[in-house]
């Protein structure tokens, strides 16, 4: 006898969570399918961590529903903890664990049998290129390696949902790529990955779909391309102003602008590209700017338009300046 | 090539799940304390034995009854300080370092996490208790009368001491407040509770309060397992101590079950 396979999508419906006077989540609804890498983007304090803490059963919502397959995760937080793995934003408490021990114990706590966990631990250590620190105590690990060990801990025996809160913080660029490959493989194994980040450039490359959250509300949801669709036909002209120069008068074809430090980000129509280059060259000629770049609009532009969060701007694609 | 096994669809439950979780959490706790384990045990041994010896330095000639009280009382102090003081401070640290959420997101029954911590306290406290008792017997030539009743007395004392600390740590949100309260507790345990001296040395109101607080019953039950004719009405002590143990479990369950 075979039962119909349950639909293991994670469904969040009309979720409301209040902390005293503050509404941290204000009617959020979203669905994450098995195998999908789903990004939650938003500035600090947007309500992302509050949302995932309700998914994993650490907080109870004031209203709304969270279900995973046949399970009601609000009514049954024990099921939530068994079915969801969680990598928090803070570092793991593994100062007195050797890396491999931390991965093994967590994998077995999560229900893996010893042989499977050890095999998977060895695979992850290899895949994340952290073999050098296999027997090193957590207290002696750098922040980035400790982060990768944390990732291996929660995915040695992953649940149906894996929640990763800023997984690449402190991780070096080369190992970031390895980490994203492993995240993709979780998806390939049918796991729903919920990725919390405020690093937009990184999210754009790593996620299948994403939601932009600000002040507890879901502002937009879709694939990175669908979210950028509204900006089609526009280009981004980035001008590095000379230090201590005031923002110059903007010509009429500039449709929008943000300035962070010396970095002036403007949006122009594709048809105005030639004028835009001319203007930028003129600024350099006058000594007001040092260089410029013209390119396609990115998810970052969409994100800033939606949230007004300019902190996310100006990070390089590896996010080395990302806030901790 | 790495590939995680397909995720499990069935929830784990039952005794096998409980026992596996308990063993794993005990391993987690003991490994977590690995760097301080040896030093904690040594400190416990030295404070226990030191307390016993210091008494004769203070008073020169120690009356046998006082020697008996201190020597049996100090065992209780060694057994409960970790659960009642170090435990809440560790939780305060987890809250301050924000590692608390990860630990509470682990898929284990809450009872296994609590009992693993009680077991850890027993492991940390027993060597100190043994050495302090040995030193006391040698130094004061105590007339001990050890019975099997010492086993439930030690177990219940460690359990209740640890669970009171556990309830305290999880009920209070502020790590600084937790640290302040536990510091004060040490002071009360050593100086103002009838553990190392008889209750009639205290002012009447404080002695009356201690009839309903867990500290004096801890000392009474342990002392009753080691002596004869010193402790009266040990059954009442077991009841009070048991009630505190149950109440702490109830408070912990309520706090941990509330989920913000």
What ipTM describes this predicted complex?
Answer: 0.89
Of B7, B34, B101, the CB nearest to A191: B7
With an 8 Å Cβ cutoff, is B96 touching chain A? Answer: no
Under DSSP, the state recorded for A310 is G
Is the model's pLDDT at A314 over the cut of 50?
A: no
The pLDDT of residue A4:
64
Over the stretch B129-167, which tens digit does the pLDDT of each residue have?
998 888 888 888 888 899 999 999 999 999 999 999 999
Size of interface A-B (CB pairs under 8 A): 126
Q: Which domain holds residue B198?
A: 15-258
Which of B37, B102, B108, B112 to mutate to test binding with chain A, by most A CBs within 10 Å of its CB?
B102
Which of A81, A84, A139 to mutate to test binding with chain B, by most B CBs within 10 Å of its CB?
A81
The pLDDT of residue B205:
94
Q: Which stretch of A43-57, A135-149, B112-126, B172-186 has the lowest confidence by average pLDDT? A: B172-186
Pick the CATH number of A228-312 from 1.10.1510, 3.30.70, 3.30.160, 1.10.287: 3.30.70
Is the model's pLDDT at A313 over the cut of 60?
A: no
Is the model's pLDDT at B61 over the cut of 90?
A: no
Over the stretch A158-210, which tens digit does the pLDDT of each residue have?
999 999 999 999 999 999 999 999 999 999 999 999 999 878 888 888 899 99
Enumerate residues 85 to 144 of chain A having a beta carbon within 8 A of any beta carbon in chain B: 86-93, 95-97, 101, 105-106, 108-112, 116, 120, 123-124, 126-127, 139
All structural domains of chain A with their residue ranges: 10-222, 228-312
The pLDDT of residue A290:
94
Is the model's pLDDT at A322 over the cut of 70?
A: no
Rg, chain A, Cα only: 22
Distance of CA A272 to the CA centre of its chain: 33
Is the model's pLDDT at B101 over the cut of 80?
A: yes
CA-based nearest residue to A77, from A65, A51, A59: A59
Locate B161 and state its tokens: 């001491």
Residues written for chain B? 260
The pLDDT of residue A310:
59
Mean pLDDT of A261-268: 87
Confidence of residue A321 (pLDDT cuts 50, 70, 90): very low
Mean pLDDT of A261-281: 91
Mean pLDDT of B246-257: 92
The pLDDT of residue A255:
82
How far is the CA of A159 from the CAs of A1, A9, A56, B53, in angstroms?
26, 13, 11, 55
Q: Which stretch of A6-10, A263-267, B54-58, B136-140 has the lowest confidence by average pLDDT? A: B54-58
With CA atoms as reference, the chain A residue closest to B98 would be A90
With an 8 Å Cβ cutoff, is A182 touching chain B? Answer: yes
The pLDDT of residue B66:
85
Mean pLDDT of A14-26: 94
Ranked by mean pLDDT, the top range of B35-39, B47-51, B113-117 is B113-117
Average pLDDT of the residues of chain A: 90
Name the residue with higher pLDDT: B31 or B47: B31
Q: Alpha-carbon distance A199 to A55, whole Å?
A: 22
* Proportion of chain B above pLDDT 90, given as a percent: 47
Q: What is the dihedral of CA B130, B197, B179, A87, to 10 degrees?
A: 30
Confidence of residue A80 (pLDDT cuts 50, 70, 90): very high
Q: Alpha-carbon distance A294 to A257, whole Å?
A: 14
Confidence of residue B175 (pLDDT cuts 50, 70, 90): confident
Classify residue B9: in a domain, yes or no: no
- A60 to B259: CB separation less than 8 angstroms, yes or no: yes
Confidence of residue A25 (pLDDT cuts 50, 70, 90): very high
Neighbours of A222 (CB within 10 A): 14
- B2 to A83: CB separation less than 8 angstroms, yes or no: no
Mean pLDDT of A284-311: 83
The pLDDT of residue A1:
45
Q: What CATH number is given for A10-222 in this structure?
A: 3.40.50.300
Mean pLDDT of B65-84: 88
Classify residue B115: in a domain, yes or no: yes
Confidence of residue A2 (pLDDT cuts 50, 70, 90): low
Number of domains comprising chain B: 1
Is the model's pLDDT at A148 over the cut of 50?
A: yes
Over the stretch B206-251, which tens digit does the pLDDT of each residue have?
999 999 999 999 999 999 999 988 888 899 999 999 999 999 999 9
The pLDDT of residue B1:
52
The pLDDT of residue A300:
81
Over the stretch A205-247, which tens digit does the pLDDT of each residue have?
889 999 999 999 999 999 998 988 877 888 889 999 999 888 8
The pLDDT of residue B2:
61
Which residues from chain B sit within 8 angstroms of residue A182, using beta carbons? 2
* Proportion of chain A above pLDDT 70, given as a percent: 93
Which residues from chain A sit within 8 angstroms of residue B103, using beta carbons? 93
């Amino acid at each position: 006898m075979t039962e119909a396979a349950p639909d293991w999508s994670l469904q969040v419906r009309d979720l409301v969570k209040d902390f005293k006077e503050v509404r941290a989540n204000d009617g959020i609804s979203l669905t994450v399918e098995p195998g999908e890498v789903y990004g939650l983007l938003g500035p600090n304090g947007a309500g992302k961590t509050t949302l995932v803490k309700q998914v994993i059963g650490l907080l109870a919502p004031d209203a709304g529903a969270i279900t995973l397959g046949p399970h009601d995760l609000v009514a049954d937080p024990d099921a939530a903890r068994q079915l969801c793995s969680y990598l928090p934003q803070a570092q793991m408490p593994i100062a007195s664990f050797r890396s491999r021990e931390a991965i093994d114990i967590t994998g077995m706590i999560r229900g893996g049998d010893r042989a499977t966990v050890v095999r998977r631990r060895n695979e992850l250590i290899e895949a994340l290129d952290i073999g050098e620190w296999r027997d090193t105590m957590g207290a002696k690990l750098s922040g980035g390696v400790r982060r990768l060990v944390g990732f291996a801990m929660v995915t040695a025996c992953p649940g149906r949902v894996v929640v990763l809160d800023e997984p690449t913080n402190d991780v070096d660029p080369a190992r970031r790529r390895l980490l994203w490959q492993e995240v993709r493989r979780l998806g390939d194994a049918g796991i729903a990955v919920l990725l919390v980040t405020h690093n937009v450039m990184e999210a754009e490359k790593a996620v299948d779909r994403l939601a932009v959250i600000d002040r507890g509300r879901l502002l937009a949801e879709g694939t990175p391309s669908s979210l950028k669709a509204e900006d089609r036909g526009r280009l981004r002209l980035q001008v590095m102003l000379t230090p201590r120069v005031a923002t110059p008068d903007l010509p009429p074809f500039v449709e929008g602008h943000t300035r962070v430090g010396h970095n002036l980000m403007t949006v122009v129509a594709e048809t105005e590209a030639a004028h835009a280059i001319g203007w930028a060259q003129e600024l350099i000629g006058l000594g007001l700017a040092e260089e410029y770049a013209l390119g396609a609009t990115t998810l970052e532009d969409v994100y800033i338009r939606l949230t007004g969060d300019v902190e996310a701007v100006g990070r390089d694609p590896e996010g080395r300046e990302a806030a901790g | 090539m790495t590939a995680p096994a397909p995720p499990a669809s069935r929830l784990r439950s039952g005794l096998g799940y409980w026992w596996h979780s308990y063993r794993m959490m005990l391993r987690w706790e003991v490994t977590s304390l690995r760097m301080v384990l040896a030093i904690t045990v040594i400190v416990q041994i030295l404070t226990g034995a030191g307390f016993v010896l210091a008494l004769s330095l203070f008073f020169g000639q120690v009356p046998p009854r006082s020697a008996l009280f201190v020597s049996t009382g100090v065992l209780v102090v060694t057994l409960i300080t970790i659960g009642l003081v170090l435990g809440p401070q560790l939780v305060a640290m987890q809250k301050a370092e924000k590692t608390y959420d990860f630990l509470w997101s682990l898929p284990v029954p809450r009872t296994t996490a609590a009992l693993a911590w009680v077991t850890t306290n027993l492991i940390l406290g027993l060597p100190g208790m043994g050495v302090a008792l040995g030193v006391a017997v040698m130094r004061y030539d105590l007339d001990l009368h050890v019975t099997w009743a010492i086993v439930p007395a030690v177990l219940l004392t460690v359990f209740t001491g640890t669970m009171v600390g556990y309830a305290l740590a999880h009920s209070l949100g502020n790590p600084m407040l937790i640290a302040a309260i536990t510091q004060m507790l040490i002071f009360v345990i050593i100086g103002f509770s009838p553990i190392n001296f008889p209750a009639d040395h205290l002012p009447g109101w404080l002695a009356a309060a201690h009839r309903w607080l867990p500290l004096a019953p801890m000392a009474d039950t342990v002392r009753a397992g080691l002596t004869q004719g010193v402790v009266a009405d040990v059954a009442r002590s077991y009841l009070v101590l048991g009630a505190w143990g149950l109440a702490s479990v109830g408070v912990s369950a309520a706090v941990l079950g509330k989920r913000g």
